[in-house]
Chains A and B, each alone.
Chain A
Amino acid sequence: MRTRRGAILILTIGVCAMLAALALGFIARTRIDALEMSQVMRQAQARVMLSAACAYVLETARIGWDDPTDNGTPGNIQEAFGWVDVRSGLIGPRDPSGNALYSNTKVLKRRLTDSAASIPSWPAIGAVCLAPMMVYERPSFAIDRNVTPNPIVNDPNATDFGLPLLKNEEPRAQFSPDLAASATVAQRWADWKTGNRIIPGDPSSPLRLRTSGDQQAWFRLRRDGPATFVVTAGCGGTLGFRDWDEVEVRGATARFANDQAFFDQLLEDEIRMWYRIEWSPAIRSTGAGYDAVNGISSSIGMQRWATMINQAGTISFIQRLRSPPVEW
């Protein structure tokens, strides 16, 4: 009997050991998969940043240069006319009056130990723009995620039982949970308009960023010519700072716990890709299509022949750089 009990014990232990080994192998494999998948996700997010960088270049060819502090005066909303001004061919961005919205004055050192500043402020040629992708908990003009704001009442005792009524507007604004129910229309509008966005010049404005997830995506632009840019697309924790020197120059050491080793560790885990792009004011035609004469119509239409240009433009080429350029 002892022998039999022992055999069963051994058998049980063996079985358990085998199951444990299988489970361990499975868990290890899953862990490896997770790590590999993380790299793929970072690659994908970094590539999304290439799209974001292109979109930023296109949009800021026109908008984004307004100084909100002078908007009280009519006509003081600054808007540009292209990285190369489509009106004059001069280097942009320039305001409606043709004044440059950039300055070539060097304001930033490359390293703290440099004797003089060598980098102008954005958007001048040679300047650098960092764009970490932070997601607001509630962006401006957020829409309520409730997809059924007007459910059909299923209470037989209700007077509107079974009636598909549109009692609530749809879609609905997403207000702050802190907004009082008695808020006025103006207060509700201000809340909806602001979201969790920082209001320039208002230190009390709310800023709440989504903190979940560890895949911090970012892009970084360096304008190296009138219409050409070096795009660095990345995903990781460095927020797009090139190196610790830049972190120091920009006074951002606190973001990394004042610890260069921590920054370097983030750098090692990060995906970075370098591209070069060129902006062009040319756009596709939005003109009317015409039929050919004499009834010989063509389904393809015939658009205007001169290249159409506008402030937003298009991206004329994208080039992945196999290695980072000297300045980026």
Chain B
Amino acid sequence: MSWPFQPQPVKTGFTLIEVTIALGVGMFVVITAYAAIRSASQTIRAADRLALENRLLRAGFIYAMDEIDYWTMYDDPDAPAGSTSQRLRGITTDTLPATFEFRVNPPPVVPYFPKRTYGMPFTPLKDLPPPNEFADGSAGFTGTTSGGNGDFGALATDRGWSLRPGTPLLLSPTDASDLATGGAVFTADRDRGIDLHRPYQANDPATWFHGSVLEISLGRRELGRYGLFTNLKKTPLLGHGDDARDLGWRANDLATNGNSGYPGFVKYTGPFGQQTPAESRTFTRYENRILYLFEALGNFACLDYLPANTLVGVHGLVFPWQTTDFTAREEAATNAPFVDAWTDPSDATQTLLSIDEAADWRFIGITTWDWKWERPDSRRLGNNRSLRGKAAVSNLTQANGNTAIAVIPGGAYSGANVIGYEVHGTIDGDGCDVPGSQLSIRDLANRNRASFPGPQTQVYDATKVISRVMQVAPLLPLRPTTWPDLRLGVARTVVNSRFRNSCWIRWLDQATGQEVEMELTALGTTLRGARQQRHQNGGWATFYGITYDTTTGVLWDNPKSGSMSGYTTTQNNDPTLDYPANPADVPGKRSSP
């Protein structure tokens, strides 16, 4: 018998236990590897997302810095004229009755500002009437024949008080003579508009407010009538008390020693009347230059262009007033700190009620054209509702946290077009919470002459004000929907006695999906600088340089009118928004020693 029991060949294989263990270990290895890959991948992805977030932040920062310097969200020089991106170049004109009827007998006929034209922060001055149209045209002051942005007289031989840095503040012989004998041809007093070569200077008396700051519009004139010395008009009408042109209510006020709990605050000061041109020694350029600046460019520009701490206020403003209101609110005549002519030309009830040109009016809160004194639903942006006549900002120092002045945007990124920011209702019923709506040019002009009281006064809460003064641009407008969003918000305000360029960069946190916002402020181009960046005919203006002749004291910037020493004719500076229609007019107005 053979050995039948042949050894069986060894069968290779795994036992169930081996397989189980092997599978387990294998799975462990694979899962570990997978986890490692997945973890690494997720880590990289998270890092990518964080990196993307950082890139968004960087991009937003760069955009913000560019916007700080170039103001393109407010006014895009490359946009077509008249487009949404250039709405802050708009112009509003009111044509008022040529004469106003005084409520007194006899009713004098006074040609008060029959036409008022209002620009905005980026309106080219060439598109506005020359500043002499803003003058009163009263007798004895007819010498302004400017066709440009300011008549500054025959300064080459008769400079008057030098406004240009580098020369003493002296009266020219001619002006000194005029001042002594009757000032009808007081050359230095002709200054009206913006002199590019003698911009508003701190050492220039034409930027000094002369008035009783203690009294403002409320006082008893105990310190005198400053309106006699400097006024919008060469021959101001300073009537009071027994003057036939006075309304009479002051006498009543005197009898009761005041009204409304303010004893004697409109004390009787007696009649004064009106000077003749020969009698007049009244200076007019401060008021007219300030008024021109205010009407040409608005409230923000007044603080931007004028030297720091310049008080923006004038003597001689008169204002139309509704008769019916006045009878009930008599104090309005001297209290209303208002710029005249924001009135409804179609309102037959408008009647000029006060001709008190001695009063000091401050450019503070402006109203809409149907404003009313202390009306419960007052639209006066510069005053709160509960306090009588609380003045708002009339110079930089007074811009506190509750009374901000801002450049009010009107472009595609403002108002109801603000993306991602709630527009809180409306301000003065302008309807800008309606999607796609925009402020009208008139409303824009109005808002750019307003100051915005903050939360303390409870007129407009902060969010509402911010939604009005802020604009927000999507920086990735063409992004796929799956991409993160990035937005830039900008607001330019005057608050707490300083100019403030605020930027908000908002993006989506790539790790959490939350919206994140970073706010920053930065030093950059001012409004005047931004206007000087822009060509008066559209596009950007190129600045090549200026020369200053240290021997003659003449400053040249050759606005397409010639060449300067050291510069070629192709290096003529481009005329900016502050130039007159014909840049060649500027050298003729240039001061000389």
A11 cross-chain contacts in B, Cβ below 8 A: 29-30, 33
Q: Is the CB of B308 within 8 A of A84?
A: no
Q: Is the CB of A292 within 8 A of B214?
A: yes
Q: Is the CB of A90 within 8 A of B44?
A: no
In the complex, how many angstroms separate the beta carbon of B219 from the nearest chain A beta carbon?
6
Q: Is A224 an interface residue (CB 8 A)?
A: yes
Contacts A33-B54, A280-B201; is A125 near B550 (CB within 8 Å)? yes
Q: Is A128 an interface residue (CB 8 A)?
A: no
**Segment with Cβ contacts to A, from B176-184, B341-349, B540-548:** B540-548
Q: Is A113 an interface residue (CB 8 A)?
A: no
Contact with A296, one of B30, B47, B202, B265 (Cβ below 8 angstroms): B265
Contact with A91, one of B55, B166, B388 (Cβ below 8 angstroms): B166
Chain B residues 184 to 216 lying within 8 A of chain A, measured CB to CB, are 199-203, 207-211, 213-216
B165 cross-chain contacts in A, Cβ below 8 A: 83-84, 89, 91, 225-227
* Nearest A residue (CB) for B262: A294
B544 cross-chain contacts in A, Cβ below 8 A: 325-326
* Nearest A residue (CB) for B48: A29
A51 to B524 Cα, complex, angstroms: 9
Contacts A11-B33, A327-B545; is A89 near B203 (CB within 8 Å)? yes
Q: Is the CB of B168 within 8 A of A88?
A: yes
Which of B29, B30, B162, B213 has most chain A Cβ within 10 Å?
A: B213
Chain B residues 521 to 568 lying within 8 A of chain A, measured CB to CB, are 522-526, 528-530, 532-533, 540, 542-548, 550, 555, 566-567
Which of A19, A37, A316 has most chain B Cβ within 10 Å?
A: A316
Q: Is the CB of B548 within 8 A of A224?
A: yes
Q: Is the CB of A228 within 8 A of B546?
A: yes
Chain A residues 66 to 90 lying within 8 A of chain B, measured CB to CB, are 83-84, 86, 88-90
Contact with B37, one of A15, A33, A296, A298 (Cβ below 8 angstroms): A15
A50 cross-chain contacts in B, Cβ below 8 A: 523-524
Q: Is the CB of B203 within 8 A of A284?
A: no
In the complex, how many angstroms separate the beta carbon of B361 from the nearest chain A beta carbon?
13
Q: Is B103 an interface residue (CB 8 A)?
A: no
A234 cross-chain contacts in B, Cβ below 8 A: none
Q: Is the CB of A323 within 8 A of B542?
A: yes
Contact with B397, one of A36, A54, A285 (Cβ below 8 angstroms): A285
In the complex, how many angstroms separate the beta carbon of B491 from the nearest chain A beta carbon?
18
A126 to B61 Cα, complex, angstroms: 35
Q: Is the CB of A302 within 8 A of B216?
A: yes
A302 to B215 Cα, complex, angstroms: 9
A292 to B266 Cα, complex, angstroms: 13
A188 to B62 Cα, complex, angstroms: 47
A: number of interface residues (CB 8 Å):
80
Q: Is the CB of B548 within 8 A of A226?
A: yes
* CB < 8 Å A-B pair total: 233
A33 cross-chain contacts in B, Cβ below 8 A: 51, 54-55
Q: Is A30 an interface residue (CB 8 A)?
A: yes
A314 cross-chain contacts in B, Cβ below 8 A: 307-308
A90 to B431 Cα, complex, angstroms: 54
In the complex, how many angstroms separate the beta carbon of A8 from the nearest chain B beta carbon?
7
> 1/0 per position for A22-54, CB-CB distance to B under 8 A?
110110011001001100100110010011001
In the complex, how many angstroms separate the beta carbon of A175 from the nearest chain B beta carbon?
36
Interface of B is mostly: loop
B211 cross-chain contacts in A, Cβ below 8 A: 305
A273 cross-chain contacts in B, Cβ below 8 A: 69
Contact with A226, one of B55, B69, B166, B207 (Cβ below 8 angstroms): B166
B310 cross-chain contacts in A, Cβ below 8 A: 282, 307
A305 to B33 Cα, complex, angstroms: 79
Q: Is the CB of A51 within 8 A of B523?
A: yes
Contact with B533, one of A54, A83, A319, A325 (Cβ below 8 angstroms): A319
Q: Is the CB of B33 within 8 A of A15?
A: yes
Q: Is the CB of B166 within 8 A of A298?
A: no
Q: Interface size bucket, B side?
A: 35 or more
Q: Is the CB of B44 within 8 A of A26?
A: yes
Q: Is B40 an interface residue (CB 8 A)?
A: yes
Q: Is the CB of B168 within 8 A of A283?
A: no
Q: Is B41 an interface residue (CB 8 A)?
A: yes
Q: Is B571 an interface residue (CB 8 A)?
A: yes
A321 to B70 Cα, complex, angstroms: 9
Q: Is the CB of A307 within 8 A of B55?
A: no
Q: Is the CB of A292 within 8 A of B523?
A: no
Q: Is B476 an interface residue (CB 8 A)?
A: no
Q: Is A303 an interface residue (CB 8 A)?
A: yes
B263 cross-chain contacts in A, Cβ below 8 A: 294
B51 cross-chain contacts in A, Cβ below 8 A: 29-30, 33
Contact with B213, one of A19, A302, A318 (Cβ below 8 angstroms): A302
In the complex, how many angstroms separate the beta carbon of B380 from the nearest chain A beta carbon?
16
* Nearest A residue (CB) for B541: A322
Q: Is B464 an interface residue (CB 8 A)?
A: no
Q: Is the CB of B545 within 8 A of A47?
A: no
Q: Is the CB of B307 within 8 A of A282?
A: yes
* Nearest A residue (CB) for B557: A225
Q: Is A151 an interface residue (CB 8 A)?
A: no
B569 cross-chain contacts in A, Cβ below 8 A: none
Q: Is the CB of B397 within 8 A of A276?
A: no
In the complex, how many angstroms separate the beta carbon of B179 from the nearest chain A beta carbon?
19
> 1/0 per position for A94-124, CB-CB distance to B under 8 A?
0000000000100000000000000000001
Contacts A293-B220, A303-B397, A325-B545; is A22 near B44 (CB within 8 Å)? yes
A59 to B51 Cα, complex, angstroms: 42
B304 cross-chain contacts in A, Cβ below 8 A: 317
Q: Is the CB of B210 within 8 A of A225?
A: no
Q: Is the CB of B47 within 8 A of A29?
A: yes
Q: Is A309 an interface residue (CB 8 A)?
A: yes
In the complex, how many angstroms separate the beta carbon of A56 from the nearest chain B beta carbon?
14
> 1/0 per position for B420-439, CB-CB distance to A under 8 A?
00000000000000000000
Q: Is the CB of B529 within 8 A of A319?
A: yes
Contacts A8-B29, A280-B202, A294-B263; is A318 near B166 (CB within 8 Å)? no
12 A-B pairs (CB sep. < 8 Å)? A22-B40, A29-B51, A33-B55, A47-B522, A89-B162, A292-B216, A294-B265, A303-B309, A303-B311, A303-B397, A318-B526, A321-B533
Known: A90-B166, A285-B309, A303-B311. 15 other contacts (CB 8 A): A11-B33, A47-B522, A83-B165, A125-B550, A225-B165, A292-B218, A300-B403, A303-B309, A303-B398, A309-B202, A309-B203, A316-B308, A319-B533, A320-B69, A327-B566
A-B pairs with lowest CB-CB distance, top 3: A319-B529, A282-B307, A282-B202
> Which positions in B face A, CB cutoff 8 Å?
29-30, 33, 36-37, 40-41, 44, 47-48, 51, 54-55, 58, 61-62, 65, 69-70, 162, 165-169, 199-203, 207-211, 213-216, 218-220, 258, 262-265, 304, 307-311, 388-393, 395-398, 400, 403, 497, 522-526, 528-530, 532-533, 540, 542-548, 550, 555, 566-567, 571
